[in-house]
Structure 1
Amino acid sequence: RGRTTFPNKWPLFSLLSAKETAAVRQACVFGNSANEALYVTHSNEFAVIGLNCSNCLGTGDSLSTIAPRALDALRGKKVASFSYGSGPHVLLATESGELYAWGHNGYSQLGNGTTNQCASPALVTTNLQGKRFKEVACGSHHSLALTTDGEVFAWGYNNCGQVGSGSTANQPSPRRVAGLLQGKAVVGVACGQTSSLALVDNGELYSWGYNGNGQLGLGNNGNQLSPCRLTALQGLCVQQVVAGYAHCLALTDEGALYAWGANTCGQLGTGNKSNQHSPVQVMAEKERVVEVAACHSTHTSAAKTQSGQVYMWGQCRGQSVVLPHLTHFVSTDDVFACVATPAVMWRLLSLETEDFMTLSQALGREFDSPETADLKFSVEGKYIYVHKAVLKIRCDHFRSMFQSHWSEDLQEVIEIEQFSFPVYRSFLHFLYTDTVELPPEDAIGLLDLATSYCENRLKRLCQQIIKRGITVDNAFTLLSAAVRYDAEDLEEFCFRFCVNHLTRVTQTAAFWQVDGAMLKEFICRASRCGAFKN
């Protein structure tokens, strides 16, 4: 999820030894002064470090610690989602669907029906029998949890309607958020300090709670006690939403970024400090955005583009940056480590190991190098220089090919005819670097190769490139290819995109050039989804 230089950029983690640091797989820095952290090791051990305000470390006592302490209550669990409030209070959903809460509870934000602090992780069970959870979000003193079947539950402080119950009475235990969300399948939730957001599977966005800065995106500044749809985004398909202290960012499936709400520090990126009560597009002149980042503890915003460029704006080290500023960072996480106040994490951070990257770099340097290569591939009249041993180690196809009874084992040059030069070179480059750099249309050819050679990781990477590169113009071409190569997940993704942008997709050349059977199958399937209902 991003290659942050961990843990150097997070001061709290300098308290860990080199051995302890090497064991970290997931981590989150939180708290009002970024003085608390929870992390998970590669062996699924949980540990905490820091100040322990309001028992938020979950150690069973109120003692601070500069040495890691184990959280035995969570040993062996796997984290699906983690969030924290201002108290701080903490919510954690496990991969098996359990929901834990601990820390500050002055407004019943732990959902246990009391206002007593909880010093250890405790299961949240009231009104939740049989429910499994996949995502959690905390506001300052309220909580949201999303079930695996798309229901949202809320509880805690409700002075502005942020629990979505239709009143302003505090909610001591979980209650399902209904109203306009009734019958909708929610796929994501987010919280500002005193506002709430829900993203529905069809790309619609709903908001409720405090709206004094326009952070609900409804075109006014009146509080809402139950979910309201952001009609200003009608016709767009939102795929990610995040909330800052009092502002919001939404990313559409076409890579467009919209912002609204408070703007006193320039956190909307509009070039001024005027609040916006309705979504406005920002970074429109830049390349496609693939990730947005904000956190309800800060007035900072960040975004990552398709080529990996990271931008930041808003409150940055005390300065107000009113337009997206291109950084040297490689992940949005680094923005929050280096410029946000407090320097908290906007999400649970998953880490890649340095050794893996170093080996990849060393191999990558020798790819297509005539000096050290012992084999050439000839594709479309051009050579690609490789190392037979590397190919045998990295790919079962080549391990089989380079056996003594195969003629290829004796050849110094192997001719390739069934794939194009860019596709085959990209495949060989992948074997050296674990990365793929191709436009989505070429990634289709590479997906074909990956399928032929049974390279499942490469198939997944190709699918990711295609998902991030999908546009109205190429959507139907990509859908046809996904069907042809039997890529079910990708097919479903492309199909959903085509349905969400049906009118414009049916006006593209790609739509009318496809064969009749494919066209008929698409129309029948889209009809079954209700795409042609008025």
Structure 2
Amino acid sequence: MGFNGAGCLGVGDQNSTMEPRKIEPLCQKKVKGIAYGSGPHVLAYTESGELYSWGHNGYCQLGNGSTNQGLTPYLVTTHLHNKRVTRIAAGSHHSLALTEEGEVLAWGQNNYGQVGSGTTTNQPTPRRVIANLGGRQVVDIACGQTSSMAVMDNGEVYGWGLNSSGQLGLGNNVNQQNPSRVTALQGVITKIVCGYSHTLALSDEGSLWAWGANSYGQLGTGNKANQCVPVRVAQELGRIVDIASSHCCHLSAAMTQNSKIYFWGHCKGQSVVAPMETGFSSLHEVFALWASPSVTYEPINVTGFTRSSLAQAMSVALDDEETADVVFVVDDRRIRAHRAVLKIRCQYFRSMFQEHWKENNLEEVEVKDYSFVVFRAFLQYIYTDTVVVSPEDAIGLLDLANAYCEEALKRHCERIIRHGITTENAAMLYAVAIKYEATRQNGTCVDESPCSSTVWQELEEFCFRFALNHMTEVAQTEAFMALDELTVKNFIQRAAQHGAFKY
């Protein structure tokens, strides 16, 4: 709904509307992500990896081989046959797509080299960006107004396109028609975002780097001087776990490990030159209130859990002696709960509390497989939808969630582990992931369907990659010294296969 210039709503006409209208060609396609250009043009990709485009097309940004605007979604297939798109990005009039194999394809306006083809000729259909990226795996992409950025699987960052404000981070103001490496970055970068003409990068250790235009303080350096090379910012905030910006504004935002939201830059006509704390609970709120225009940096995925009087009552019900009718004994400590709540919220307990349970007596259940901290955190999640545990305990909670088939809880745990990994605990997390994978490979969920070991394989791979990228520091930690001989040998062998010891 809303403004429909150039058919950007994808509903088949150019009539603006305040009433929501279906985009019929995309219904039942399981759309997974959306990106927009300020033309405006729109991109969408599906769960199966198909790519669609519609809207303004004066610079070939739809990738359909023409400059005719699209009133309905067009399936983009050129150079995407048998490939799955996993991420998309859009600048003002150019587009990027990332495939499952880690390839980057670009098309659209190319007046500053933002398509990365080695020329400044507009690109009418998707074309793989080869120079300096070919044969290597890309894990993240982003678009500024007329620039493009990519993050490699080893944490290196490349940029191309307009560089008049230093937004490519190369130490100069020279436009680049091919990807060029940002050599001044330190650490392993895992995420990158672009504003109109500035760039933010986040490392796997939670460090934030910024460069480019700074006329509104959007770099967060405390002044308004442009930066042609990356500078580390917001160190006083501690570990940062997420960042946001948009190619249509000069605003930056970040979330810290304790879920605090900060913003800086161009805020409704005012310049904020250093991170300012908000009372918000999401990065989206920053852009809704402060961005000009008020456009979100990515589509809002509404999974909301609104705290109400009921939620507040539930948060204090756990361990209530007066109303509890079941007691869990864990590590010789007791946790009081309510069978009705557990049965409503969890299939495992629904199966557990069958008719043979005496409804009028306080029953005791002994829990042997999990620690007190882990099991209480699980019950707290059942009652409140919130998870508060350390990364170390999150692994045990992830094992419990996997065994009980609690998918949402698994995602919470994975986020805590990924956001909480450090050089000090990486070896321990890696070893524990290996142990759980080995012990759970032949396990089954409570509904007797096989439990996939994928979650443990992914966690092990994530911890290994982190340790590999910081091997010198990790190898000197007490956690690494405590690893058993077989785990160390396997780690060294895997590291060697990834080229860690090549000269």
TM-score calculated relative to the size of structure 1: 0.85
Residue matched to 1:197: 149
Task: State the match for 1:312 in structure 2.
Answer: 263
**CA deviation map 1:507-534 (0-9, x unaligned):** 1111111111111111112212222222
Q: Aligned with 1:180: secondary structure? A: coil
The 3-state SS of whatever aligns with 1:335 is: helix
Q: Report if aligned partners of 2:424, 2:474 keep a CA contact under 8 Å in 1.
A: yes
Relative to structure 1, the CA distance from residue 114 to residue 326 in structure 2 (aligned partners, 3 Å threshold; closer, same or farther) is: same
Retained in 2: the 8 A contact 1:401–1:408?
no
Shift of 1:411: 4.9
8 Å CA contact 2:193, 2:200 repeated in 1: yes
**For the Cα contact (< 8 Å) 1:55–1:62, is it kept in 2?**
yes
SS for the counterpart of 1:231 is: coil
Q: Which residue of structure 2 aligns with residue 324 of structure 1?
A: 275
Matches within 5 A, 1:49-198: 49-198=1-150
State the partner residue of 2:163.
211
Equivalent residue number for residue 427 of structure 1: 378
Does residue 1:385 correspond to 2:343, yes or no? Answer: no
One-letter code aligned to 2:261: V
Residue by residue over 1:395-452, the C-alpha shift from the partner in whole angstroms, topping out at 9 and shown as x without a partner, is 4554455456679995555555664432232122122123210111222333444456
Q: 1:279 to 1:518 in 2, by over 3 A?
A: same
2:466 equivalent in structure 1:
497
Deviates further, 83-92 or 110-119: 110-119
**Partner Cα distance (2:15, 2:405) in 1:** 53
Residue type at the aligned position of 1:169: T
Q: Kindly tell me: are residues 409 and 466 of structure 1, through their superposed partners in 2, closer, same or farther at Cα, counting changes over 3 Å?
A: farther
Distance 1:417 1:343, change over 3 A: same
Matched to 1:494, the amino acid is: C
Pick one of 197, 221, 224 that aligns with 1:246: 197
Code of the residue aligned with 2:496 in structure 1: it is S
Tell me which residue corresponds to 1:31. Answer: none
Counterpart Cα distance in 1 of 2:69 and 2:405: 53
Q: Does 1:508 align with 2:477?
A: yes
Q: Deviations over 1:183-239 (max 9, x none)?
A: 1111221100010011112211110000011100111111111001111125x1111
Match of 1:522 among 478, 488, 491: 491
- Contact 1:185–1:200, Cα closer than 8 Å, also in 2: yes
- The equivalent residue for 1:286 is 237
Alignment of structure 1 residues 448-467 onto 2, 5 Å: 448-450=399-401, 455=406, 457-467=408-418
Paired AA for residue 495 in structure 2? A
1:311 Cα shift? 0.4
In the other structure, the counterpart of 2:450 is none
Structure-2 change in CA distance of 1:216 and 1:476 (3 Å): same
Contact 1:80 1:135 in 2 (8 A): no
Q: CA deviation at 1:165?
A: 0.8
Alignment of 1:252-267 (within 5 A): 252-267=203-218
* Superposition deviation, residue 485 in structure 1: 0.9
- 1:349 corresponding residue in structure 2: 300
- Report the CA distance shift for 1:462/1:57 in structure 2 as closer, same or farther (over 3 A): closer
Aligned partners of 2:252 and 2:263 also within 8 Å: yes
Worse-superposed segment, 102-111 or 441-450: 441-450
Q: Deviations over 1:448-473 (max 9, x none)?
A: 44456555543443232111100000
Answer 1 or 2: higher relative contact order, Cα 8 Å, separation at least 6: 1
In the superposition, relative to structure 1, how do residues 86 and 405 fare at CA in structure 2: closer, same or farther (>3 Å)? Answer: closer
Distance in structure 2 (CA, Å) of the matches to 1:475 and 1:425: 25
Paired residues in the alignment total 485
User: In 1, distance between residues paired with 2:64 and 2:399?
Assistant: 52
Q: Which runs of 5+ in 2 are unaligned?
A: 438-455
CA distance 1:396–1:409, change in 2 (3 Å): farther
Question: Is the Cα–Cα contact under 8 Å of residues 451 and 485 in structure 1 kept in the other structure?
Answer: no
Query: Aligned partners of 1:364, 1:59: CA distance in 2, in Å?
Result: 45
In the other structure, the counterpart of 1:533 is 502
Alignment match, 2:451: none
Render the CA deviation track for 1:289-324: whole Å, top value 9, x for unaligned. 111000000101111111111001101121101111
| Aligned residues of 2:325 and 2:362 also touching (Cα < 8 A) | no
In 1, distance between residues paired with 2:97 and 2:14? 26
Worse overlay, 243-252 or 279-288: 279-288
Equivalent position SS for 1:69? coil
Separation of aligned partners in 1, 2:411 and 2:34:
26
Larger deviation: 345-354 or 267-276?
345-354
Q: Which moved more, 1:453-462 or 1:148-157?
A: 453-462
Q: CA deviation at 1:269?
A: 0.6
Q: Would the aligned equivalents of 2:101 and 2:137 in 1 still touch at CA under 8 Å?
A: yes
Please name the residue that 1:300 is paired with.
251
Query: Root-mean-square deviation (CA), in Å?
Result: 2.3
Q: 1:459 to 1:217 in 2, by over 3 A?
A: same
| TM norm structure 2 | 0.90
Return closer, same or farther for 1:389/1:193 CA change in 2, 3 Å cut-off: same
Residue pair 1:408, 1:414 contacting (<8 A) in 2 also: no
2:237 match: secondary structure: coil
Q: Deviations over 1:367-422 (max 9, x none)?
A: 22233222334545654321122233434554455456679995555555664432
The 1:237–1:386 alpha-carbon spacing in structure 2 relative to 1, beyond 3 Å, is same
Following superposition, the deviation at residue 179 of structure 1 comes to 0.7
1:478 counterpart (429, 440, 456): 429
Q: Is the Cα–Cα contact under 8 Å of residues 92 and 145 in structure 2 kept in the other structure?
A: yes
Q: Residues 52, 422 of structure 1: CA spacing in aligned structure 2 closer, same or farther, 3 A cutoff?
A: same
Asked if the contact 1:401/1:409 (under 8 Å) is kept, the reply is no
The 3 A distance-change label for structure 1 pair 408 and 459 is farther
Contact 1:403 1:409 in 2 (8 A): no
- Checking the alignment, whether the CA contact within 8 Å between 2:324 and 2:362 is kept in structure 1 is no
- 1:366 aligns with one of 302, 317, 340: 317
Q: Is the partner of 1:372 in helix, strand or coil?
A: coil
CA distance in 1, matches of 2:83, 2:364: 59
In structure 2, the partner of 1:15 is none
Q: Percent identity?
A: 56
Residue identity matched to 2:16 = S
